Amino acid sequence: MGKRNLFIYLAIISLISAVFFQAVAAEKKDNDSPISILSDRLDLNEAKNIITFEGSVHADSGDSIIKCDRMEVFYIKDSSASTGNSKEDEVVVDRILCIGNVHITRTDGTNARADKAEMFQIKEILVLSGNATAWQDKNSVEGDVITLFLKEKRTVVESSGSSRVKAVIFRNGEKE
């Protein structure tokens, strides 16, 4: 990996922490903690502006853990976002796609599972699709697609075909 590729790789990794896990948390906050991503393979494709992690992907930011079979980070080079300290374009994450056995766990007890998760950074939208389930404590929601509109603090759960949306909600203090 050349110097330029290493620079882009490190920039993308630092942005994943600032972007991906904020989207999952549905909140904006300054977080300088490092992220650790383990996978069997990493492919940086500068021509397509994609970093792909494959094989038992495990991403840990400290307050979130994402596990999946494959994670694709799509980035754009934005000269307007450059700080002026360098002639290099600023690297900005556009979207992140997690495919296969997606499981998101937050330290606040929030969990989600789906066949696929897609985060759209600019729009601040998280889409879980394919056997999508989200839960915290005993409360849960299931559907074919769960869409979180983070700016609006709104969630839409959809079903298709013969399946139906399912929500299980316990009142405070109520036991199973």
Q: Where are the domains of the chain?
A: 3-168
Mean pLDDT of 19-41: 61
For residues 124 and 79, which has the higher predicted lDDT (pLDDT)?
124
Decide: 147 and 159 in contact? Cβ < 8 Å: no
Decide: 64 and 36 in contact? Cβ < 8 Å: no
pLDDT level of residue 139 (50, 70, 90 thresholds): confident
- Give the pLDDT score at 80: 67
Decide: 33 and 15 in contact? Cβ < 8 Å: no
- Give the pLDDT score at 118: 95
Mean pLDDT of the chain: 79
* CATH for 3-168, options being 2.60.450.10, 1.10.3720.10, 3.10.20.90, 3.30.450.20: 2.60.450.10
CB-side exposure of 84: number of CA atoms within 13 Å?
A: 0
Q: What is the DSSP letter of 163?
A: -
Residues 6+ apart with CB under 8 A from 28: 22
- Give the pLDDT score at 33: 67
Q: Among 19-23, 48-52, 60-64, 103-107, which is the least confidently predicted range?
A: 19-23
| Both structure tokens of 110 | 């929030």
Per-residue exposure over 12-33, b if at least 16 CB sit within 10 Å of its own CB, e if not:
bbebbbbbbbbbbbbeeeeeee
Mean pLDDT of 64-90: 77
Q: Is the pLDDT of residue 1 over 60?
A: no
Dist CA 75 CA 12 (whole Å) = 8
pLDDT level of residue 93 (50, 70, 90 thresholds): confident
Q: Is the pLDDT of residue 59 over 60?
A: yes
Q: Is the pLDDT of residue 24 over 60?
A: no
Per-residue exposure over 149-174, b if at least 16 CB sit within 10 Å of its own CB, e if not:
ebeeeeeebeeeeeeeeeeeeeeeee
Q: Is the pLDDT of residue 82 over 80?
A: no
Q: Is the pLDDT of residue 8 over 50?
A: no
